[in-house]
Amino acid sequence: DGGITQSPKYLFRKEGQNVTLSCEQNLNHDAMYWYRQDPGQGLRLIYYSQIVNDFQKGDIAEGYSVSREKKESFPLTVTSAQKNPTAFYLCATFKERDRGGYTFGSGTRLTVV
Amino acid sequence: DAKTTQPNSMESNEEEPVHLPCNHSTISGTDYIHWYRQLPSQGPEYVIHGLTSNVNNRMASLAIAEDRKSSTLILHRATLRDAAVYYCIQSRGVGGTSYGKLTFGQGTILTVHP
């Protein structure tokens, strides 16, 4: 079945370290998104990419970086510049012709220790 | 993206209909209304979306007011598996499509009682 794979499911990071969250999709969707969710809150957009080799900042891009070298992959790096990185991170894809709307992965829970 | 207004929480009994309201008073002509729901520690799941006309699918119905300033998500027969946080999202379409980044508010926590 087609879908989105986010890995790892749980990630622990020491302060000052960069970590990379993986997002892979086999849905052949053009657009990919990274959202952050804090406890009891809605999702906030970090970065999004509409095509390969192109991406735009979302509402809370500071302290994060992304790349889109392949259509299937949109990794997110949480850098040491992100002051409060502990959160639930969700990757999503979208294809206009797909009437099912946006598809989300199962998320990565990042904890700074 | 403009924010929508939803009640913080609602309750329902199993097998009864549920009407989840959403206000989007600043909606413009190309803005779509999307509904997603989320279970704890999972990614949101698409429920339904629409522009002007009422929409039906296997999961739910979406009733959009004539002035489009409000809408209602209707679950015809609630089950325990419908207990989730429901997000109503107003998204500006791009190029005549429903394409647009989504801004999630805090949503409505739906509790379903057996």
β-pair partners for B84: B110
**Letter for the amino acid at B98?**
S
Q: How confident is the model at residue B69 (pLDDT cuts 50, 70, 90)?
A: very high
Instruction: Give the distance from residue A10's alpha carbon to the nearest chain B alpha carbon, in angstroms.
Output: 11
| Closest alpha carbon within chain A to B98 | A96
Helix/strand/coil for B109: strand
Cα radius of gyration rounded to whole Å, chain A = 13
pLDDT digits (tens, 9 = 90+) for B24-52: 988 888 788 899 999 988 999 999 988 88
Q: What distance in Å separates the CA atoms of residue B107 and residue B9, rounded to the nearest whole number?
A: 8
| Chain A residues within 8 A of B98 when measuring between CB atoms | 96
Residue ranges with strand state E in B16-82: 18-23, 31-38, 45-50, 55-56, 61-64, 70-75
Could A101 and B36 be called an inter-chain contact, meaning their C-beta atoms sit closer than 8 Å? yes
DSSP calls for A36-75? EE-TT--EEEEEEEEETTEEEE-TT-TTEEE--SBTTB--
The reported pLDDT for the residue numbered B94 is 54
Task: Give the least confident one: A44-48, A50-54, A58-62, B91-95.
Answer: B91-95
Residue A24 has pLDDT above 60, yes or no: yes
| Structure token pair of residue B18 | 């549920």
